[in-house]
């Protein structure tokens, strides 16, 4: 079956009836988004991938609760975000040492590469410093392209709160983003 | 965030690209394979229901059989206590004679005995 031409609602219905290939089609479509959302919530990449997998499996078990009249992405990402938050609460994930621009600059290699890494790390650090909800909101809005209403649905918060979270997150990331982008534009 | 304000209600492509790079995920194919492998370890609801259904059907059959047995016992008339004058077995002449309220003729009785 060519799953790329089938609608998400059809894939979900087939998967609900036990068609693993159809479910595979849904996983393929949303793997990157789900992994990124999980990484937004969990610092550790392996933990995040495990949480994203947990989310997909929970979705597989509860496909009967999916309303085919609505888009599949927000429904799935809500489950993934919950799975990541649950994992973080259960494990009290080890706090990864924030990579400071100074330690990044100490990397071996050409100075330019070290600068690039440092600015990238500063941006990543600023992102990590954001409260989890703001972080998730800005990733869902500016990277994944979900609307405020959809993000409100995913995170289970009012739409106005999403707008506020996106605003504050953008403001916090503006500086590191400008520095990184300015460096990138100077790149030969 | 070039040319974009925090107030903008449209996604900022530059910021989105930066976020994609920072959160970069690789090898989605391996991830998809891992998820699908894990689905094989998870029994879907219809298989769980199927597992529950087999003993359920067996139990239901047992209950039906027991019910039918009890109902049969209730419906079937219990053997009645015979009255003194009632025949023990229909069609047997001797009992018919015994069941007769009138005193049987001795000749008849002897004749019946001789014929056996």
What ipTM score was computed for the predicted complex, to two decimals?
A: 0.81
From the CA of B54, how many Å to the nearest CA of chain A? 19
Per-residue pLDDT of A58-100, as tens digits, reads 999 999 999 999 999 999 999 999 999 999 988 764 554 444 4
On whether both A32 and A57 belong to a single domain, the answer is yes
Q: Are A138 and B25 an interchain contact pair (Cβ–Cβ within 8 Å)?
A: no
pLDDT score, position A4:
61
On whether both A59 and A107 belong to a single domain, the answer is no
- Number of domain units in chain A: 2
Q: Are A143 and B20 an interchain contact pair (Cβ–Cβ within 8 Å)?
A: yes
pLDDT score, position A119:
87
**Which of A75, A61, A132, A44 minimizes the C-alpha distance to B47?**
A61
On whether both B5 and B35 belong to a single domain, the answer is yes
Residues of A in contact with B20 (CB under 8 A): 36, 143
Domain interval for residue A34: 3-91
Nearest CA in chain B to A37: B23
User: Which CATH number goes with the domain that contains A41?
Assistant: 1.10.1740.10
What is the reported pTM? Answer: 0.67
Please state, in angstroms and as integers, the Cα–Cα distance from residue A82 to each residue in A71, A155, B36, B111, following that order: 18, 9, 20, 101
On whether both A129 and A71 belong to a single domain, the answer is no
Q: Are B14 and A181 an interchain contact pair (Cβ–Cβ within 8 Å)?
A: yes
- What is the helix, strand, coil percentage profile of chain B, to 5? 60, 0, 40
Domain interval for residue B49: 45-78
On whether both A74 and A9 belong to a single domain, the answer is yes
Domain boundary among A26, A57, A91: A91
**Which of A24, A22, A136, A127 minimizes the C-alpha distance to A88?**
A136
Q: Are B6 and A170 an interchain contact pair (Cβ–Cβ within 8 Å)?
A: yes
Smallest Cβ distance to B6: which of A28, A39, A167? A167
On whether both A105 and A181 belong to a single domain, the answer is yes
Residues of B in contact with A122 (CB under 8 A): none
In a domain, A179, yes or no: yes
pLDDT score, position B48:
57
pLDDT score, position B56:
76
On whether both B70 and B87 belong to a single domain, the answer is no
Beta carbons within 8 Å of B19's beta carbon, 6+ residues apart: A36, A127, A138, A139, A142, A143
CB A136 within 8 A of CB A40: yes
Smallest Cβ distance to B38: which of A57, A120, A148? A57
Q: Are A181 and B18 an interchain contact pair (Cβ–Cβ within 8 Å)?
A: yes
- Number of domain units in chain B: 3
On whether both B63 and B90 belong to a single domain, the answer is no
User: Looking only at Cα atoms, what is the longest distance across chain A?
Assistant: 57
Per-residue pLDDT of A112-149, as tens digits, reads 777 778 888 999 999 999 999 999 999 999 999 999 99
On whether both A82 and A128 belong to a single domain, the answer is no
pLDDT score, position B95:
62
Q: To the nearest whole percent, how much of chain A has pLDDT over 90?
A: 69
On whether both A178 and A156 belong to a single domain, the answer is yes
DSSP state at residue A158: -
Within 10 Å of residue B55's Cβ, how many Cβ atoms? 9
Residues of B in contact with A36 (CB under 8 A): 19-20, 23, 25
In a domain, A96, yes or no: no
Domain boundary among A53, A72, A91: A91
The whole-angstrom separation of Cα B95 and Cα B106 is 15
On whether both A181 and A133 belong to a single domain, the answer is yes
From the CA of B8, how many Å to the nearest CA of chain A? 8
**Which of A68, A54, A78, A65 minimizes the C-alpha distance to A11?**
A68
From the CA of A129, how many Å to the nearest CA of chain B? 14
């Amino acid at each position: 079956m060519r799953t790329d031409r089938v609608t998400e609602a059809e894939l979900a219905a087939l998967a609900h009836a036990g068609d693993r290939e159809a479910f595979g089609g849904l996983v393929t479509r949303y793997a990157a988004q789900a992994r990124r959302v999980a990484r937004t919530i969990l610092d550790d990449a392996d933990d995040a991938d495990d949480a994203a997998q947990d989310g997909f499996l929970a979705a597989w078990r509860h496909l009967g609760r999916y309303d085919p009249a609505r888009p599949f992405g927000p429904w799935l990402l809500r489950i993934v975000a919950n799975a990541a938050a649950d994992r973080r609460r259960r494990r009290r994930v080890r706090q990864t040492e924030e990579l400071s621009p100074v330690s990044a600059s100490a990397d071996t290699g050409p100075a330019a590469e070290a600068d690039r890494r440092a600015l990238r790390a500063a941006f990543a650090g600023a992102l990590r410093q954001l409260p989890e909800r703001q972080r998730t909101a800005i990733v869902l809005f500016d990277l994944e392209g979900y609307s405020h209403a959809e993000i409100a649905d995913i995170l289970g918060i009012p739409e106005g709160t999403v707008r506020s979270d996106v605003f504050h997150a953008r403001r916090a990331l503006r500086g590191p983003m400008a520095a990184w982008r300015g460096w990138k534009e100077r790149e030969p | 965030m070039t040319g974009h304000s925090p107030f903008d209600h449209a996604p900022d492509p530059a910021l989105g690209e930066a976020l994609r790079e920072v959160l970069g995920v690789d090898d989605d194919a391996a991830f998809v394979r891992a998820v699908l492998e894990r689905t094989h370890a998870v029994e879907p609801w219809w298989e769980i229901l199927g597992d529950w259904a087999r003993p359920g059907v067996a139990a239901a059959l047992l209950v039906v059989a027991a019910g039918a047995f009890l109902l049969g016992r209730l419906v079937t008339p219990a053997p009645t206590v015979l009255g003194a004058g009632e025949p023990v077995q229909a069609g047997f002449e001797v009992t018919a004679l015994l069941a007769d309220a009138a005193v049987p003729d001795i000749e008849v009785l002897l004749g019946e005995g001789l014929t056996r």
